[in-house]
Structure 1
Amino acid sequence: MSKTRSSIVTYTCNAGHYDLPMNGAYQVKSASTFEDERLNARATKILSHLYFPDAEWTIWCDSNLKLLIEPEELLEFFDYPEVGVYGHFKRNSINDEIDACKASKKDLSRKLELHRDMPGRLALTFIVIRRNSPKVAAANNAWWAEVTTKSRRDQLSFPYTLGPLATYRDIPCKSIHAARRSFLSNHFFRVPHKQEFVEAVKIHGLIDGQSIADNELAKILNRMHEKQKLGIQGIEVPQVNGKLFQE
């Protein structure tokens, strides 16, 4: 079974300019409904059927994630699902995720506890594949209702909203990268957030002062990437066609 590129939309949203824009996924302008930029980004992520009503498939990618395979190959890997996600490989239950979120202060404890003992399998939602269908749209709406009335941590409500429709797959990776497979796999890699890059180039004396424009930072990082000197947790960032970051 094959799918034409025109029927698939791969997209992201960089609300609050939290990440340095990468080439590849379609950049959707974030909503401005909420003071919390994370919720503005979640609207775009979760309500795919409203943003792309004419697409047959949508593939959400976090704004610091770069696909290493074609969208069609990703659909094939998940066997053309209603919903496709990678299973969480560190934690097994929503309760485990609640405890981890509390420990790292990801949200208010009282909001996190609203998900306690809910059913379903945890997913890594930095990539979410969806077929544009009525039942997926209904599940998206249910997911959005949970995120806007309970915790904004969408991993907590995904298992019992979209989870029942989802095909879960393990992240394919080389054995040497197994411990870091959520950052580097056969399918994708994720880079640090923009502020981490800013701090890194300061330390190496590559900029003067305390701030740098996004396009200038992108130029520095693209040069480093071309020279194979850009890393993720000690691992070299894979080479890609063209420039990695938008200048």
Structure 2
Amino acid sequence: MASSSFSNNSISISVSDDDPDEFGRKRVRTRRKRKKHGHRRIRNELNQLLIRLFVKYWMLLVFLPAAVLIIFEVTSVGRKPVLVVNSEINEVKRPNLMGNPELTKPKEATQGKKLDSKLNRLDPITHVVGGVREPCLKLLPAEELQHLDISEDEESTISSPVKRLVYISDHQTPHGHGGGDSTLSLQRTNVTRFNLFTGNQTFDEREKSFKVSGTVVLHCGFFSENGGFAISDRDKSYMQTCKLVASTCAFGGGDDLYQPIGMSEASLKKVCYVAFWDEITLAAQESQGNKIGEDGLIGKWRIVIVRNLPFVDQRLNGKIPKMLPHRLFPHAKYSIWVDSKSQFRRDPLGVVEALLWRRNSVLAISEHGARSSVYDEAKAVVLKHKATPVEVEVQMTQYRKDGLPEDKRFNGKKALNEASVIVRKHTPLTNMFMCLWFNEVVRFTSRDQLSFPYVLWRLEVLKNINMFPVCTRRDLVNSMGHIRKAKPLTN
């Protein structure tokens, strides 16, 4: 009864969670029920919060994976191989992609697109000097260019060890040289590169021609009136008026004619722009609608037609206006040569001031961009099939015999050149240098960069040469590359 009464009492007084049961324990069942209700309430609140967040940000959740994928792709671009463009040789190269030859082939581009990307560009070429970016060619301001004049200063001639040049020809016999030679009567023959234009320079005459004296006797082209490279009297008269000349040439229907740009009004009045063509190039250009005007001009260029070219090799024919402008323009004080593959894009007076007057130089020519040793260049010429191994070996053997050193620099300067642009003052000494250079090209190979260091080494007295860097050459011209190869002449 008592027990029953205790049981009834315990049931009737179960109102507090803190009241102990008959074993002194709290009523766990009642506590568990309350705890379970609390969890359920928290879960409900959390679910409601998640639902509200989803309703509010569901668009972000949907597009987040796509955004992450885009970010990954963008950041990975820098790790992918890219195209490398070499503007010096107009090639587009791909890096080696896993050694797959199919993926390393150069990307082909049309010649038209290459021309469009470079033609008529005037933007300066710059380089970093001492952490500061500067233009490669610093010309005077436009207002100062207007006042530049062609110097009549004769100081360099007075101080020069060479005062006078005598050119060997078939109608004068200085020191027993000259005289007609029937063995030279054949023109454009493959038997020998010497002909009636060059005269037959012997090795003994070659050796004597390097000796410096007040009067130097040497071969320098135009050996005979019947030797070729015939120019009309009208053009000759015009060429005799030139004091500063910018010239180029295209023989055998080769490159197109690019108009010079970037010149001042003063240069337009004082500079002769002369382009030498042969009859093949004339016909090719006329077929494209490029007609010579009544004044002999196409644009700024005075077109001079040359007939009876003396060499089978068109590269040799091109060396005549390139190396012998002092013979073609007898009264010129200065000349600027520009290869036909390039567009001249700077003021000629400004170029003479910057590269010659400011540097106290009489000859300015670009350094070679890839090599500095003539013997290394000889190997490259053979590998690129620019000349035959036999003729290159003959030339290098002779230069080694003469003692041309393996040194990569002469007088602290890089001797190997890239002669697409030549700026010079016409003095007896520089004229002598160009004659010697031309004779080496005729005797050996048409690759004039092989003979330039040799002549520079032999003619020790010519010191004030400005071997300007490649970036300066790139600023002087827009390099377009050769469009078509000129075909050799036939007999």
Task: Compute the TM-score of the two structures, normalised by the length of structure 1.
Answer: 0.68
Cα distance, 1:159 vs structure 2: 1.9
Match of 2:381 among 77, 80, 101: 101
Match of 1:10 among 237, 246, 250: 246
Rounded Cα–Cα distance in structure 2 between residues aligned with 1:135 and 1:169: 20
Q: Which residue of 2 aligns with 1:243?
A: none
Q: Deviations over 1:60-110 (max 9, x none)?
A: 100121122111222222133211111112101101110110100111212
Q: Assess if the C-alpha contact under 8 Å between 1:13 and 1:28 holds in 2.
A: yes
Q: Assess if the C-alpha contact under 8 Å between 1:147 and 1:154 holds in 2.
A: yes
Q: Larger Rg: 1 or 2?
A: 2
Q: Which residue of 2 aligns with 1:28?
A: 276
Q: Which residue of 1 aligns with 2:468?
A: 169
Q: Which residue of 2 aligns with 1:111?
A: 391
Rounded Cα–Cα distance in structure 1 between residues aligned with 2:342 and 2:150: 23
Rounded Cα–Cα distance in structure 1 between residues aligned with 2:388 and 2:331: 37
Q: Structure 2 matches for 1:17-96, cutoff 5 A?
A: 17-24=253-260, 25-29=273-277, 30=306, 32-80=309-357, 81-96=361-376
Aligned residues: 186
Match of 1:156 among 447, 450, 471: 450
Q: Assess if the C-alpha contact under 8 Å between 2:368 and 2:470 holds in 1.
A: no
Q: Assess if the C-alpha contact under 8 Å between 2:322 and 2:337 holds in 1.
A: yes
Q: In the superposition, relative to structure 1, how do residues 89 and 195 fare at CA in structure 2: closer, same or farther (>3 Å)?
A: closer
Match of 1:135 among 420, 425, 429: 429
Give the percent of matched residue pairs that are identical in Structure 1 and Structure 2: 26
Equivalent residue letter for 1:83: L
Rounded Cα–Cα distance in structure 1 between residues aligned with 2:353 and 2:439: 30
2:448 matches 1:146: no
Equivalent residue letter for 2:333: E
Q: Assess if the C-alpha contact under 8 Å between 2:341 and 2:479 holds in 1.
A: yes
Rounded Cα–Cα distance in structure 1 between residues aligned with 2:456 and 2:319: 15
Higher relative contact order (CA closer than 8 Å, sequence separation 6+): 1
Cα distance, 1:21 vs structure 2: 1.4
Rounded Cα–Cα distance in structure 2 between residues aligned with 1:76 and 1:159: 25
Cα distance, 1:162 vs structure 2: 5.0
Q: Deviations over 1:117-161 (max 9, x none)?
A: 535501110001121111111111111110011111111111232
Q: What are structure 2's unaligned runs of at least 5 residues?
A: 1-146, 152-241, 261-272, 278-305, 486-491
Task: Compute the TM-score of the two structures, normalised by the length of structure 2.
Answer: 0.36
Q: Deviations over 1:188-226 (max 9, x none)?
A: 111132239xxxxxxxxxxxxxxxxxxxxxxxxxxxxxx
Q: Assess if the C-alpha contact under 8 Å between 1:44 and 1:51 holds in 2.
A: yes
Aligned residue for 1:145, secondary structure, equals helix
Q: Assess if the C-alpha contact under 8 Å between 1:83 and 1:162 holds in 2.
A: no
Q: Assess if the C-alpha contact under 8 Å between 1:140 and 1:162 holds in 2.
A: no
CA RMSD in angstroms comes to 2.4
Aligned residue for 1:13, secondary structure, equals strand
2:481 matches 1:192: yes
Q: Which residue of 1 aligns with 2:90?
A: none
Rounded Cα–Cα distance in structure 2 between residues aligned with 1:194 and 1:169: 27
Rounded Cα–Cα distance in structure 2 between residues aligned with 1:146 and 1:104: 21
Aligned residue for 1:156, secondary structure, equals helix
